[in-house]
Amino acid sequence: MMAMVARRPRRRSVAPLIERRFPLHLEPALYSIRELYHAAKKAKWDPEKHIPWRSFDAARYTAEQRKAAALSWSRRAWTEYGGMPETPAILIRICLEHNGESDPKMFLCVRGTEEAWHVECCYRFADELGGYVQAPRDPNYQQLFNQGFHRKAFDPAVVVDAYIAAHVAVQRGLELELYRGYLRHATDPVAVAILKRLVQDKERHVTFGWVYLSEHAKSWNDETREEIRAEVIHAVADLELRGYHCAWLVPDDAAREIVAADAMTRQAGLGANSVDEERVILTQFLADARAKFGGLGIELPRFPAGTLGEL
């Protein structure tokens, strides 16, 4: 199905990552990323204090709705967890790149903390709804979560900008749009409070990705652009169109329990999208991302997406 899409080009041979600390470059260089870092510090919050956990009224929902929402929010915890190892991995990688600007490093330090709060909120809400679920039932679906993004972030053969394009701008970008959808459809006060906080944090995380790319685009040559393009194609075709964020895209219906749970969570106002809503979000997101990459000199192909045709 993915045969039309070009795969990663031949790997370059590269020097291992070693620390050469000086010069440190602590002065601001990427001013808009420095601003995002300051904004993140100002937006600091505490899941314990800022989420109205005590206002959760289980009696508003049927047992079936609570069970469904517990699964939807468990799934969200599984995905959010990915940000915990991934963030320090990108941070270490950028720290080991020679002459790297300090602004992204400072920003990522704060992002790492925010990822913990996201996991905490999703886990706790799932638990209050009826019990956090430890893992997906289907082993193939479980495998989709074991991407080991840190390995790629540490791989000197993958240019940092390609990693940020694929896994921050694209994957986090889609995640943000899906979360905006969850928030639009949520009526429960706890769900609304959590989703508002997560959307605000994710807006900064995604802006970071695009600002970083546009600042660096001037230094790209054809080879770099091709590497970025290949990594973005991989993230879209092999991860997103195989259900990394949209459970209804998981092959062989392996995530059907999540799809069914999300439908009920959506109806109960506990924060989810319907499949039709996610189709629209995904289509729009890919169109927007294609236009933005086009502006950076990277032409993305159309992606074959089963019953959705080409995206």
Kindly list the residues in this chain that would bind Fe ion in the complex (CB under 5 A): 80, 83, 115, 118
Looking at the Cβ atoms of 66 and 118, the one nearer to Fe ion is 118
CB of 201 to Fe ion, least distance (A): 7
Q: Cα-flanking dihedrals φ and ψ of residue 10, to 5°?
A: -50, 140
Looking at the Cβ atoms of 112 and 228, the one nearer to Fe ion is 112
DSSP string covering the chain: --TTS--PPPPPP-PPP-----S---S--SHHHHHHHHHHHHT---HHHHS-GGG--GGGS-HHHHHHHHHHHHHHHHHHHTHHHHHHHHHHHHHHSTT--SHHHHHHHHHHHHHHHHHHHHHHHHHHHT----S-SSHHHHHHH---HHHHHH-TTS-HHHHIIIIIIIHHHHHHHHHHHHHHT--SHHHHHHHHHHHHHHHHHHHHHHHHHHHHGGG--HHHHHHHHHHHHHIIIIIGGGTSS-GGGSGGGTTHHHHHHHHHHHHHTSS---HHHHHHHHHHHHHHHHHHHHHTT------B-GGG-B-
Q: How many whole angstroms separate alpha carbon 65 and alpha carbon 292?
A: 39
CB of 83 to Fe ion, least distance (A): 4
Looking at the Cβ atoms of 91 and 268, the one nearer to Fe ion is 91
CB of 113 to Fe ion, least distance (A): 11
CB of 173 to Fe ion, least distance (A): 13
CB of 35 to Fe ion, least distance (A): 20
Looking at the Cβ atoms of 93 and 204, the one nearer to Fe ion is 204
CB of 172 to Fe ion, least distance (A): 8
Sign of the Cα torsion 290, 295, 296, 297 reads: positive
Looking at the Cβ atoms of 115 and 177, the one nearer to Fe ion is 115
The residue with its CB nearest to Fe ion is 118
Q: Cα-flanking dihedrals φ and ψ of residue 203, to 5°?
A: -60, -45
Q: Which residues contact 7 (CB under 8 A, 6 or more apart)?
A: 230, 233, 234
Looking at the Cβ atoms of 51 and 264, the one nearer to Fe ion is 51
Looking at the Cβ atoms of 34 and 111, the one nearer to Fe ion is 111
Looking at the Cβ atoms of 83 and 173, the one nearer to Fe ion is 83
CB of 118 to Fe ion, least distance (A): 4
CB of 115 to Fe ion, least distance (A): 5
